[in-house]
A and B are shown apart, each in its own frame.
Chain A
Amino acid sequence: MKSLCFLLLFASVAHAATEAVIPDSQRAFFKSYCVSCHNAEKHKGKVRLDDIPFRIADVPTAERWQKILAAINSGDMPPDDEKQPKPDEKAAFLEVLSKQMVVARKALSDSGGLITMRRLNRREYVNTIRDLLDVEVSPKDLPADDDGGSFDTIGSGLFFSSDQFQQYLKLARVALDEAIVSGLQPKVQKQRRDPETEALKHVRGQHDKLAADKARFEEWQKSGKAPTDFGFQDEAEAKIKMQLVRGQLPGYQSYLAEPLTQTGLVLQPFTGLLGQDQTRIPGNIAPGTYRVRIRAAAMEPAEPSFMEIGLMGNGESAGEMDLLRCLRITAPLDQPQIIELPVTLTKAGSHTVGIRERRPNTSDAAYYIGGTRSKEGNGNAYRRTMWVDWIEWEGPFFEQWPPRSHELVFGKETLPTNPGEADARRIIETFAKRAFRGRAVKPEFMERLMTHFNERIVAGEKFIEAIKTPLSIMLASPSFLYIAEHAAEKPGKARLSDIELANRLSYFLWSSPPDDALMQLARDGKLSDDAVLSREVDRMLADDKVMRFISGFTHQWLHMVRLDFFQFNHRLYPKFDGSVKESARREVYETLRTVLAGDLPLGALLKSDFVVVNDILADYYGIDGVAGTEFRKVPVPSTMPRGGLPGMAAILAMGSDGERSSPVERGAWVLSKLLNDAPPPAPANVPQLSRFSGKLMPARELMLAHQEQPQCAQCHRRIDPIGFGLENFDAVGRWRAEEYTEVAVLNKVVKQSKLFPIDATGTLPDGTAFNGFHELRDALAKREADFAKGLVEHLIEFGLGRPCGFSDDDLVQSILQNTKPQNYTPRALIHALVSSKEFRTK
């Protein structure tokens, strides 16, 4: 194995620890503007700086320098009545200091290769329970784990709170309740409903009520008598009633006048009951997989109509849909289509299937759009998008009985009629083998588990109930919750056992426990063989479970949490609804998978002649000929701004605040994620330039204000110009030729708005100039090596579960050197990491 030799060679070279040092060149500045007032004799404000080390080697020193940085950044220091540095002097000092603070943070958080044992994070916990019991659990009571600013696989950052143990115990119980069945297979039931019955009843009711109000109002007007004579409280109430009549009655009249409403439900988007339909499957039916069928047709075939199907929330999330599928309805009215999809109903979850025209998920946002869209056309007529003949549910269907989940606990053989202690022991032992991922269950622990079982039997529980107690205790015990590896004297000293290697590999590439095949290889001691290991990596990368790795890793690597930081303004961006947003998020993952599976050069993520989209996103991007909800590779011409991360809707939307595009956010993202040259974190407490607020200005001009103050300029002169190159994309990643800006939006009325032409010229920090997005993308595509380095560093962190520090430089370099000939394909990068000494030792 060539790569391994390389690595060993590299690792043997002694490596001086990199540390943060304020260079000589900046010490004069520091002396004359800081130390002159803060020294042994003169310590103004009780601050002394003459004794501060220039080497930032520990946390207290870092804290002192951080304070200095903050004081200069905020403009507090030097004070106005003291000698002031020239702007470029100040900018240079700040640039060096803030960069050294980044170095210091990296150096101080360097674990020196030490991997701390970790518990399963939330993603892994859900995946592990799924693989173990074939059951989905909702982990909302567990900590999210991915909001600490580093990967959720880094053990030192994963805490364990005092009530977490009880949450694990509770979740295990819920999972076992779902997994274990009793009795015979439930009979399949089937029910079909005609949604127009309820819809018509509702519409007629509303119509008649409003019509009666109208008649009352008109009579009152004619009579000249008091409003109370006609049942109104007062004149104001009468007028409000009439306003409702004017606003709503025509809609109901028009609905009833449409012949198609008599034969089926006509979906009018965004208007209450007519905008969506709910089918309630009785709560007492058996949980399992049901088939839901819908017969429907498109009413305006010229305009794409998408139907959303999902489970409706209840309680707090009432009105919100847990989306199962969004698909385009294409069938004409004379040939309706039948949609069929499987829906899994659990004991605890929702049993209400909703259908609706695609729209933003929260009811507020939908209502808002409703107000604007329904007034299209002739003023009264609502948009009518689809006709639904009937909805039918049938089930539950099981691939087998007892279901797989049950078999995973009890094994394939059926239990004897009167199962006893020996059966319990066998079940617990078999379960332990899988749940503890290769760790043997110790006799004392086993005996205690049996005691719990026996106590439940004595308490009068049936066997299949009583067995749940020891099993759920196992799922809350350390052997299940922690990915343990045996002790090493020093980091990198202990070779992982085959079982440990199987676990590390599996939680790296699947975020899940090893499957039977991988575990068997480990048990047989074959996994540590280079050829076997390499073959297993390929097998795992080809498995669908690789998406658990891709989504979990990519979400954190590319900081995609930003996509959910802000609400998007639905008035400005009505097309960017929940389905588009989710599809845009998926596009990033699916593209990475396509690059991985096709062994494409890593650079394809920077620029490519294809996109990986579904019908929703194709519609959003204006790409024709894509039908169906599955993601697929579609070629795009080079003139199109799509193809590669810089042109993806999700990435661009992340670089906005939901209202306007942000060249700063986008520029900083490109720097840190694509060019691996992260700018220092934005300093807190820097006064915001508010003199522009309320003025109509293009984003580019607003950004120029950053150049005025040296403390801003030092970073922004590198960040903002990259963002300018992406200004042809609006806040939700649509292409635009002009920038729309508005101010003083009060009560939904825009007081002032203006269109500005876009200037998308800019430069990269290395001086490469570009004119517009396409040239920027070309320039980025040339930086494949930098991009690869960033990815490798993040893969090391994620895969090894520890920070990637300066002590990893050799590992990073050797992976890059070994994979360069293969254009850094993700597969090559992963193989190189897995075969490294670091991956195979503790």
Chain B
Amino acid sequence: MNTPLIRRSFLRSSSALIALPFLESLGFRRFASAAPVPARPKRMVFIGIGWGVTQETWYPDVKQTGAEWALPEGLKPLAKHQKDITVIQNCFHKHSMDPHSCSTFWLTGANKYGVPGKSFSNTISVDQVAAEQFGKDTRFTSLALSGSGESHGPGLSLAWNRQGKPVAGLDNPVATFHKLFSDENTPLAQRQAALKRQQSVLDTVLVDARDLARGLGKEDNDKLGEYLESIRDIEIQLSKEGQWLDVPKVKPSDHMAEPKQGMSGDKEIRLMYDLLVAALQTDATRVVTYRQPVDVLLKGLGLKFAGHNISHYTPGPRMEASQTRDRGQSELLAHLIEKLKATKEPDGSRLFDHVSVALGTNVRSQHYLDNCPTILTGGGAGIKLGQHIVMPDAKTPLCNVWLTLLNGVGVNVKSFGDSTGVIEQLRA
């Protein structure tokens, strides 16, 4: 390992940036008027809502496009923020065939059967593309949140890495809180020793891996490669942890108490939203995904149905429940927007203006995989807000939206997934 030193010094230089929220309380404002303020970093948030929406009452009327459109029933709770959200219709993933995998390919657009000889494959997700660029400067390269016991298809979160392997998600708000904000009480030397021990465990299993590899054919060696990739990922993570070991974790500027264990229902989701806002505000990470649990939300709303059941609604209790869920979801989003607007950056601007938020999923309702529900908000990607856009082509790649957001936040990739170009209508 020759690189840590370079990476370490690099991170040290950027730690000045990380400490900004502290500076604010030390009279940063006065200081700020004298010196140029570094541009606030862009952030990306993706929230996946699982089993889809009630199509009859969630989508705005396709005849009302542009800036003048009436909020449909399912989005009513967002009234206060209508000028700050954009709903885009007619986007989908052409490769998606399986409505039960609605969280698996939402951020990737991959073809499950894309690799001959395999019955499952996936590709990198849009958030991880952003994380490759944004994650270098932060303690956590990205943050993948999820809900416990619910997955909407294969995967551990919405995020998939460069190799198309699932990225693990944090499903417990308490654990998330501690990971983001709690400093360990153990002395630095001890923590360094613990890291060294973990590193040495990795070295040990690599000895076994090398030995095993000797007898294997090419295909099997590739398979073992997945294990090695995993070890490498942990190594990178450990070395990053090592570099940040003596940098205290930044506490959110709004005091945030340790959450109580066993939180559930919409309260749990609200808490995850608060945590992700705090993570962005403290610049612990700049890329967050949340595979939001549907069953948890339903339970919180007092509905006795499971999310998957509801997606197969017909007029009657299942459809009513589906509509209640939509409104509950919109209330949560309204809360998130409110919070992002209220949270101030060190230069006095709103966090909202530096974040790109996308909320949606890969299934409309029932088994419909076209016209994926998609809401965009936040000023980070420089998209036109307050719009209702109906793409003229009903088969517009959802990856075009992802590409537009990536380019908007300054990740200048030429294409993403099956994208065919950016969506000009979205650009302000």
Residue among A147, A451, A455, A479 having the largest count of chain B Cβ atoms under 10 Å? A147
Cβ of A659 to closest chain B Cβ, rounded Å: 8
Q: In the complex, A368→B317 CA distance in Å? A: 15
Q: Is A422 an interface residue (CB 8 A)?
A: no
- B4-22 CB mask vs A (1 if < 8 Å, else 0) is 0000000000000000000
Q: Is B412 an interface residue (CB 8 A)?
A: no
Chain A 109-140 residues near chain B, CB threshold 8 A: 109-112, 114, 116-119
Contact A161 B156, CB 8 Å, known A452-B201, A685-B368: yes
Which listed segment binds B: A394-402, A480-488, A722-730? A480-488
The number of residues on chain A lying at the interface, defined by a beta carbon within 8 Å of a beta carbon of chain B, is 78
Nearest residue, chain A, Cβ from B223:
A117
- B252-274 CB mask vs A (1 if < 8 Å, else 0) is 00000000011010000000000
B118 contact from A157, A439, A681, Cβ within 8 A: A157
Q: In the complex, A806→B194 CA distance in Å? A: 53
Which listed segment binds A: B214-222, B276-284, B326-334, B348-356? B214-222
Instruction: Determine whether the beta carbon of A442 is less than 8 Å from that of B211.
Output: yes
Contacts of B197 in A (CB 8 A): 455
Q: Is A756 an interface residue (CB 8 A)?
A: no
Which listed segment binds A: B226-234, B375-383, B403-411? B226-234
Q: Is A166 an interface residue (CB 8 A)?
A: yes
A444 contact from B165, B207, B234, B308, Cβ within 8 A: B207
Instruction: Determine whether the beta carbon of A477 is less than 8 Å from that of B117.
Output: no
Q: Is A567 an interface residue (CB 8 A)?
A: yes
Contact A154 B119, CB 8 Å, known A116-B223, A159-B166, A746-B317: yes
Chain A 674-710 residues near chain B, CB threshold 8 A: 681-682, 684-685, 688, 693-694
Chain A 127-169 residues near chain B, CB threshold 8 A: 143, 147-150, 154-157, 159-166, 169
Cβ of B207 to closest chain A Cβ, rounded Å: 5
A745 contact from B224, B304, B317, Cβ within 8 A: B317
Q: In the complex, A197→B327 CA distance in Å? A: 46
Instruction: Determine whether the beta carbon of B114 is less than 8 Å from that of A161.
Output: no
Contacts of A63 in B (CB 8 A): 95, 111
Contacts of B120 in A (CB 8 A): 148-150, 157
Chain B 144-162 residues near chain A, CB threshold 8 A: 148, 151, 153-154, 156, 161
Q: In the complex, A62→B111 CA distance in Å? A: 12
Contacts of B200 in A (CB 8 A): 451-452
Instruction: Determine whether the beta carbon of A484 is less than 8 Å from that of B220.
Output: yes
Nearest residue, chain A, Cβ from B320:
A746
Cβ of B83 to closest chain A Cβ, rounded Å: 32
Instruction: Determine whether the beta carbon of A162 is less than 8 Å from that of B99.
Output: no
Total inter-chain residue pairs, C-beta < 8 Å: 197
Q: Is A68 an interface residue (CB 8 A)?
A: no
Q: In the complex, A714→B108 CA distance in Å? A: 33
Instruction: Determine whether the beta carbon of A688 is less than 8 Å from that of B234.
Output: no
Q: In the complex, A133→B230 CA distance in Å? A: 26
Cβ of A301 to closest chain B Cβ, rounded Å: 34
Q: In the complex, A160→B220 CA distance in Å? A: 14
Contacts of A333 in B (CB 8 A): none
Instruction: Determine whether the beta carbon of A445 is less than 8 Å from that of B207.
Output: yes
Q: Is A803 an interface residue (CB 8 A)?
A: yes
Contact A160 B119, CB 8 Å, known A169-B201, A316-B148: no
Cβ of A466 to closest chain B Cβ, rounded Å: 13
Q: Is A54 an interface residue (CB 8 A)?
A: no
Q: In the complex, A603→B118 CA distance in Å? A: 33
Q: Is A340 an interface residue (CB 8 A)?
A: no
Cβ of B63 to closest chain A Cβ, rounded Å: 20
Contact A566 B308, CB 8 Å, known A114-B219, A149-B120, A684-B369: yes
Contact A111 B211, CB 8 Å, known A155-B223, A315-B262: no
Contacts of A481 in B (CB 8 A): 227
Q: Is B133 an interface residue (CB 8 A)?
A: no
The number of residues on chain B lying at the interface, defined by a beta carbon within 8 Å of a beta carbon of chain A, is 70
Cβ of A698 to closest chain B Cβ, rounded Å: 15
Q: Is A291 an interface residue (CB 8 A)?
A: no
Contacts of B156 in A (CB 8 A): 143, 161, 163
Contacts of B151 in A (CB 8 A): 147
Contacts of B234 in A (CB 8 A): 162-163, 165-166
Chain A 454-497 residues near chain B, CB threshold 8 A: 455, 473, 476-479, 481-482, 484-488
Q: Is A338 an interface residue (CB 8 A)?
A: no
Contacts of A842 in B (CB 8 A): 217
Contact A484 B215, CB 8 Å, known A165-B231, A448-B204, A566-B308: yes
Q: Is A8 an interface residue (CB 8 A)?
A: no
Nearest residue, chain A, Cβ from B366:
A688
Cβ of B84 to closest chain A Cβ, rounded Å: 31
Q: Is B344 an interface residue (CB 8 A)?
A: no
Contact A117 B216, CB 8 Å, known A109-B118, A745-B317: yes
Contact A484 B154, CB 8 Å, known A109-B113, A161-B165, A452-B204: no
- B322-348 CB mask vs A (1 if < 8 Å, else 0) is 000000000000000000000000000
Instruction: Determine whether the beta carbon of B264 is less than 8 Å from that of A478.
Output: no
B interface, CB within 8 angstroms of A:
94-99, 111, 113-114, 116-120, 148, 151, 153-154, 156, 161, 165-168, 197, 200-201, 203-205, 207-209, 211-212, 215-220, 223-224, 226-227, 229-231, 233-234, 237, 261-262, 264, 304-306, 308-309, 312, 314-317, 320, 366-370
A-B contact pairs, 17 of them (CB 8 A): A59-B111, A117-B223, A159-B165, A160-B227, A161-B167, A162-B168, A162-B230, A164-B230, A442-B211, A445-B207, A477-B204, A478-B205, A482-B227, A487-B215, A657-B309, A684-B98, A745-B316
* 7 extra interface residue pairs, beta carbon distance < 8 Å, beyond A109-B113, A109-B119: A117-B219, A147-B151, A148-B154, A439-B212, A444-B211, A486-B215, A567-B306
A interface, CB within 8 angstroms of B:
58-59, 62-63, 67, 105, 108-112, 114, 116-119, 143, 147-150, 154-157, 159-166, 169, 315-316, 364-365, 368, 439, 442, 444-445, 448-449, 451-452, 455, 473, 476-479, 481-482, 484-488, 565-567, 657-658, 681-682, 684-685, 688, 693-694, 743-746, 803, 842
- The 9 A-B residue pairs whose C-beta atoms are closest, nearest first, are A487-B217, A162-B233, A163-B168, A117-B220, A160-B226, A477-B208, A448-B204, A148-B120, A150-B119
